[in-house]
C-alpha cells in the first residue's frame, strides 16, 4: 500500500534545499504543517503553512521544549492505513494523517564542538521532539515517509511528482537512514556526557563502555586490496579540513583501495613537514621525501631519493601545485599512479592532464588547505572486535629532547634530525630513516630485526650516506646498529631511548664521534 502524500510535517534545523522541496510539495497539493523557525521560514517564502499549535490546540511551551509531543501529531504519523481500528481512532479523535515527515535535529554536535560552549547551551541543543518524530515515522515506514537530510529531497519529490506517493522500497531506505541519524545523534550525546561528567578525566572514562561509530559512504570501490575482495570508502560526519575523504578528484581513473591507503600516507608525511615538501609512497611506506625552498625542488629531490621505487608511486604535496612542480612530475621516464595536494593552479593541471603518457589515468586530487594538527581517534579491526587508540598525529615536544653524547649536533644536522624524525613515524616498524639536507635517502621498513632495517636503509642510501643522519622509531637494543651506521658514514642519530642497553649505545656513539638525541617518545607503526 502506497498512501498518497496529502500532508507533510516539516521541522528542520538545516534549511538548505528546503525552499525548492517545499514549493514542489505545495505544487502537488500537499498541505504543509510546521513549527517555530521552520514555519516562519516557509511563510517567508509565501507558502501556506498550518501551525502545529493551531492544529493540536496546545501552544508551544517551555521555551519550545514542547511542540510536537502530542497524540494528534504522533497518531497521524503512526497510524496503519490498512488497520480499521487505527483509522477509527483517528476519526474518533479528529486526528489527521501525516504521510510525509521532514525532520533534521538540533545541531548538537556542532554546538558542543565550539570551544566556549556552556553545559546549559549543550543541554538545550539536545533534541527531544525531533527524534521522536523521526523514530515514529521510521517505524511506520510501511505508510509514512521520513526524510532526515536535504540530499533526499530530490528523490522523494520525484516520486511524488510521478505518482503522488512514494514506494515502499524508498520509504524503507529512508527509514534505515533515519535510524542511523538518531543512533549517531544519541552516540554524540552519550560521548558528551562521558567527557564532561565528574571524574571523566581518567583513562577509563576516555573510552565509553559501548561504542557506536557513525560513518557515511563516500563511494563503492572496484575491489579491495586484491580483486577478490569487495571494498568501499566511508567518511566521518565532519572530517577535518585537507583530508582525502573530502578531496575533489580532478582527473584519472577511479581510486582503488590501495590508492586511498597510499594517498592518505603520502598526505600524512607531507602534512608533517614545515616548508614546501613532497613525499613519495610505495606500498604504504615512504620511499622518498624532501623539504626545499620551492615545491618543485622538493618534488625533484623526493623522487630522487629512490627513483626505482618511485616508479608507479603515489605523491603527496603540502602546497598548491604550480607549473614548475607539474613540469618536474611530467619529466620523461616517470610514471605516477596518483598525486594529492591542497590545490592545483590551472597551468599545472592542464600540463598534468595533457603531457605525460599516463595523463588519462593519473588520479589528481585536490584536498583543500590542511587544517591545524588535531588529536583524533584511530580504530583498527581485529577478529571479533576493535582496537581503539589516540592516533599518533601530533608533533613531538622538542623541548623534551636531550643530546646524550659528547658531540653535539650542528645546525644543519639538527635540521636533518628533525626532518628524519618527522618522516620515520610514517615508516612501518622496525623503522630506520637516513636523511641529509632534508631529503630521504633510504628507509628500512617492517623488518623483524632493527639491524636488518639499518642494513636496508644503508643499502638504499648508497654512496650518499656519508655525512647523513639517522632516525629510528624505537630504541636500539644493542650497539650493533650504531657500529654499522658509523661504518657507513652516518654522523648523527635521533631515537627515543629507553633501552636497558642505552649506556652501551651511547658509548658506541662516543667511540665513533656520533652525536645522538633521545626524544623520550616512540613512534611504532604496525
Q: Are residues 418 and 511 in the same domain?
A: yes
Q: Are residues 42 and 177 in the same domain?
A: yes
End position of a domain, from candidates 138, 162, 195: 195
| Angle at CA of residue 224, ends 218 and 228, nearest 5° | 135
Note the pLDDT tens digit of each residue in 365-413: 999 999 888 888 899 999 999 999 999 989 899 999 999 999 999 999 9
Residue 234 forms part of a structural domain: no
Cβ contacts of residue 110 below 8 Å, gap of 6+?
238
Neighbour tally for 139: CB within 10 Å: 15
Residue 200 forms part of a structural domain: no
Residue 374 forms part of a structural domain: no
Q: Are residues 361 and 402 in the same domain?
A: no
Note the pLDDT tens digit of each residue in 256-302: 999 999 999 999 999 999 999 999 999 999 999 999 999 999 999 99
> Quick one: pLDDT at residue 236?
85
Q: Are residues 419 and 475 in the same domain?
A: yes
Structural contact between residues 342 and 370, judged by C-beta atoms closer than 8 angstroms: yes
Q: Are residues 248 and 188 in the same domain?
A: no
> Quick one: pLDDT at residue 200?
46
Helix H or strand E encompassing 32 = strand 31-34
Note the pLDDT tens digit of each residue in 121-176: 888 878 788 888 999 999 999 999 999 989 999 999 999 999 999 999 999 999 99
**Helices and strands of the chain, counted as H and E runs:** 20, 21
3-class DSSP assignment, residue 9: strand
* Nearest of 459, 461, 455 to residue 436 by alpha carbon: 461
> Quick one: pLDDT at residue 203?
39
How many structural domains is the chain composed of?
A: 3
Residue 191 forms part of a structural domain: yes
Q: Are residues 135 and 274 in the same domain?
A: no
Q: Are residues 98 and 169 in the same domain?
A: yes
Note the pLDDT tens digit of each residue in 187-226: 778 877 777 765 444 334 567 777 777 788 899 999 999 9
Backbone dihedral region of 472: left (phi > 0), alpha (psi from -120 to 50 degrees) or beta? Answer: beta
In the predicted model, is pLDDT for residue 63 greater than 70? no
Note the pLDDT tens digit of each residue in 499-513: 999 999 999 999 999
Instruction: List the single range of 100-114, 290-304, 437-451 with lowest mean pLDDT.
Output: 100-114
Backbone dihedral region of 167: left (phi > 0), alpha (psi from -120 to 50 degrees) or beta? Answer: beta
Query: Which sequence positions are flagged as catalytic?
Result: 139, 283
Q: Are residues 156 and 259 in the same domain?
A: no
Residue 375 forms part of a structural domain: no
**The domain that contains 70 carries what CATH number?**
3.40.50.1380
Q: Are residues 177 and 258 in the same domain?
A: no
Instruction: List the single range of 103-117, 153-167, 336-350, 473-487 with lowest mean pLDDT.
Output: 103-117
Residue 524 forms part of a structural domain: no
Helix H or strand E encompassing 193 = helix 168-196
Q: What is the pTM of this model?
A: 0.76
Q: Calculate the average pLDDT of the chain.
A: 91
* Nearest of 191, 197, 243, 246 to residue 214 by alpha carbon: 191
End position of a domain, from candidates 348, 366, 384: 366
Structural contact between residues 243 and 267, judged by C-beta atoms closer than 8 angstroms: yes
Q: Are residues 362 and 263 in the same domain?
A: yes
End position of a domain, from candidates 169, 195, 221: 195
Q: Are residues 38 and 131 in the same domain?
A: yes
Half-sphere exposure of 173 (CA within 13 A, CB side): 9
The range of the structural domain enclosing residue 158 comes to 7-195
> Quick one: pLDDT at residue 210?
73
> Quick one: pLDDT at residue 205?
52
Cβ contacts of residue 399 below 8 Å, gap of 6+?
none
- pLDDT band of residue 66 (cuts 50, 70, 90) is low
Q: Are residues 345 and 458 in the same domain?
A: no
**The domain that contains 464 carries what CATH number?**
3.40.140.20
Structural contact between residues 166 and 177, judged by C-beta atoms closer than 8 angstroms: no
Residue 304 forms part of a structural domain: yes
> Quick one: pLDDT at residue 201?
41
Q: What are the cell numbers at 54?
A: 493551531
Residue 346 forms part of a structural domain: yes
Amino acid at each position: 500500500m502506497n498512501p498518497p502524500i496529502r500532508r507533510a510535517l516539516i521541522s528542520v534545523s538545516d534549511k538548505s534545499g528546503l525552499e525548492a522541496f517545499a514549493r514542489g510539495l505545495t505544487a502537488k497539493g500537499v498541505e504543509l504543517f510546521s513549527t517555530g523557525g521552520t514555519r516562519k521560514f516557509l511563510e517567508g517564502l509565501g507558502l501556506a503553512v498550518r501551525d502545529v499549535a493551531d492544529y493540536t490546540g496546545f501552544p508551544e511551551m517551555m521555551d519550545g521544549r514542547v511542540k510536537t509531543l502530542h497524540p494528534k501529531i504522533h497518531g497521524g504519523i503512526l497510524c496503519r492505513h490498512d488497520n480499521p481500528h487505527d483509522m477509527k481512532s483517528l476519526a474518533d479523535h479528529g486526528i489527521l494523517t501525516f504521510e510525509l515527515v521532514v525532520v533534521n535535529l538540533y545541531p548538537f554536535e556542532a554546538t558542543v564542538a565550539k570551544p566556549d560552549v556552556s553545559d546549559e547551551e549543550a543541554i538545550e541543543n539536545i533534541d527531544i521532539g525531533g527524534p521522536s518524530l523521526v523514530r515514529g515515522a521510521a517505524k511506520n515506514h510501511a505508510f509514512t515517509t521520513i526524510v532526515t537530510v536535504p540530499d533526499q529531497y530530490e528523490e522523494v519529490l520525484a516520486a511524488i511528482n510521478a505518482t503522488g506517493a512514494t514506494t515502499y522500497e524508498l520509504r524503507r531506505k529512508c527509514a534505515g537512514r533515519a535510524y542511523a541519524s538518531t543512533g549517531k545523534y544519541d552516540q554524540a550525546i552519550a560521548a558528551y556526557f562521558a567527557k564532561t561528567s565528574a571524574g571523566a578525566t581518567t583513562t577509563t572514562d576516555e573510552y565509553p563502555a559501548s561504542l557506536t561509530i557513525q560513518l557515511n559512504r563516500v563511494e563503492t570501490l572496484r575491489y579491495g586490496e586484491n580483486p577478490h575482495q569487495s571494498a568501499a570508502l566511508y567518511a566521518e560526519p565532519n572530517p577535518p579540513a585537507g583530508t582525502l575523504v573530502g578531496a575533489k578528484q580532478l582527473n584519472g581513473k577511479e581510486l582503488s583501495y590501495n590508492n586511498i591507503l597510499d594517498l592518505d600516507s603520502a598526505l600524512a608525511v607531507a602534512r608533517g613537514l614545515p616548508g614546501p615538501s613532497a613525499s613519495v609512497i610505495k606500498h604504504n611506506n615512504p620511499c622518498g621525501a624532501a623539504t626545499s625552498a620551492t615545491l618543485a625542488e622538493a618534488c625533484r629531490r623526493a623522487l630522487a631519493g629512490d627513483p626505482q621505487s618511485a616508479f608507479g608511486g603515489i605523491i603527496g604535496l603540502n602546497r598548491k601545485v604550480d607549473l614548475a612542480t607539474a613540469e618536474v612530475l611530467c619529466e620523461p621516464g616517470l610514471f605516477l599512479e596518483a598525486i594529492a595536494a591542497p590545490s592545483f593552479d590551472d597551468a599545472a593541471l592542464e600540463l598534468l592532464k595533457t603531457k605525460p603518457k599516463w595523463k588519462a589515468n593519473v588520479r589528481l586530487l585536490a584536498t583543500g588547505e590542511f587544517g591545524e594538527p588535531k588529536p583524533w581517534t584511530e580504530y583498527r579491526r581485529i577478529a571479533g572486535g576493535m582496537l581503539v587508540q589516540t592516533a599518533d598525529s601530533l608533533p613531538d615536544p622538542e623541548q623534551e629532547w636531550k643530546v646524550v653524547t659528547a658531540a653535539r649536533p650542528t645546525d644543519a644536522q639538527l635540521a636533518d634530525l628533525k626532518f628524519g624524525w618527522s618522516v620515520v613515524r610514517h615508516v612501518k616498524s622496525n623503522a630506520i630513516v637516513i636523511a641529509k639536507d632534508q631529503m630521504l635517502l633510504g628507509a628500512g621498513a617492517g623488518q623483524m630485526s632493527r639491524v636488518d632495517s639499518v642494513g636496508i636503509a644503508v643499502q638504499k642510501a648508497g654512496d650518499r650516506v656519508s655525512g647523513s643522519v639517522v632516525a629510528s622509531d624505537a630504541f636500539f637494543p644493542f650497539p650493533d646498529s650504531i657500529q654499522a651506521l658509523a661504518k657507513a658514514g652516518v654522523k648523527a642519530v635521533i631515537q627515543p631511548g629507553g633501552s636497558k642497553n642505552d649506556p652501551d649505545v651511547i658509548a658506541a656513539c662516543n667511540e665513533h664521534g656520533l652525536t645522538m638525541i633521545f626524544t623520550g617518545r616512540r613512534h611504532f607503526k604496525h
